[in-house]
Amino acid sequence: MVDISQFKNKTLKAIEAKGKIVEPRSYLGMSKLGHSCPRYLWYSFRWCFGDILEPRMKRLFNRGHREEPEIIKVLGGIGIRCWGDQDEVIMAHGHCKGHRDGVCLGVLEAPKTEHLLEMKTMSDKYFKKITKEGVKVSKPIYYAQCQIYMRKFGLTRTLFIAVNKNTDAWYIERLKLDKGFADDLERKAESIILSEAPPEKPFKPTWYECKFCSANLICHYEKQVEKNCRTCNHCDLLPEGKWQCSHHDIELSTSQQRMPCSKYSLLTSLRKNV
């Protein structure tokens, strides 16, 4: 008799073992600006490490995207009109970009005020936390994302919606623009992008966030960074989100930046990581 459970386990193991190497974004994402570690953001922008997206995580991300049209449909049913899905905003010389979930009008608490619309799905654990503490305390990275989007899109309010993936319960909070906070985020992005060296370490390796960070081994244990144009001395930042190679005197496309040439020279500020 065929052992069906063994067959299922082999199939599942094969699916979960098939990880996907995630190509880094060509820009610093505004959605990350609320991250507690600017050093991580610099490493990410400079492509110092490569991430592997496990199939389970990929499915979770896709689940969030599939949820958005359903949320918009429900909002429409009570007269809230939504538009502007994935509209882009750019700052920091074209090297920092963001894409909003949308904008809406007709929110019952303030029907004449256009709101930024941000939608998130989360596990029961984090849903309970956000319900108890609110967005700013429980999810500061989401709060920062909403603040910078409001500032750059000229809005003063956000309709933030969280959906519990376990129960389908909703949490809704209206956020108010904090101009000073948003401006600080823009200055943070500028500082990270224009720096040729990573910021100082804000945490010790024992800090809980460091233990799960993709840059952990590079930052704390001097693992060698990935070889590409962004970790090379010859690569220079240009306006409008562009990069150039000073050795070959050419503007580099995103695909060209991913593959170092024979003249690769590790960025001076990273040479301790050899």
CB 43 within 8 A of CB 49: yes
Digit-coded pLDDT (tens) for 15-59: 666 666 667 899 999 999 999 999 999 999 999 998 766 666 667
pLDDT in tens, 159-183: 999 999 999 999 999 999 999 999 9
Q: Please report, for residues 28, 229, 237, the alpha-carbon distance to residue 224 in angstroms, rounded to integers and kept in the order given.
A: 22, 15, 22
Q: Which is nearest to 147 in space by CA: 105, 118, 181?
A: 181
Q: Is the pLDDT reported for residue 11 higher than 60? A: yes
Q: How confident is the model at residue 1 (pLDDT cuts 50, 70, 90)?
A: low
- The whole-number pLDDT of residue 50 equals 84
Query: 231 falls in which pLDDT band (50, 70, 90)?
Result: very high
Contacts of 29 (CB under 8 A, 6+ apart): 96, 97, 98
The per-residue pLDDT for range 245-266, each reduced to its tens digit, is 999 999 999 999 999 999 999 9
Cα distance between residue 254 and residue 270, in whole Å: 21
Name the pTM for this structure.
0.88
Which ranges of 3-153 would DSSP assign to H, the alpha helix? Answer: 4-17, 38-45, 55-77, 124-133, 135-138, 140-153
CATH number belonging to the domain at 52-190, selected among 3.90.320.10, 3.40.630.20, 3.40.50.20, 3.30.70.1140: 3.90.320.10
Q: Of the candidates 212, 208, 269, which has an alpha carbon nearest to the alpha carbon of residue 235?
A: 269
Q: Which residues pair with 97 in a beta bridge?
A: 29, 90
**Non-local CB neighbours of 148 within 8 Å, separated by 6+ positions:** 30, 33, 98, 182, 185, 186
- What gap in Å lies between CA 94 and CA 241, rounded to an integer? 4
- Please report, for the chain, the start and end positions of each structural domain, with discontinuous segments joined by +: 52-190, 221-274
CA-to-CA distance for 104 and 118, rounded, in angstroms?
10
Residue 274 binned pLDDT confidence (cut-offs 50, 70, 90): very low
Q: Which two tokens stand for residue 24?
A: 């880094």
Q: Given the structure tokens 């809704």, which residue do they identify?
A: 172
Q: Which amino acid is at 213?
A: C
Which regions of the chain does DSSP assign to beta strands (E)? 20-22, 28-29, 51-53, 81-83, 88-91, 96-99, 102-105, 115-122, 157-164, 170-176, 235-238, 242-245, 250-252
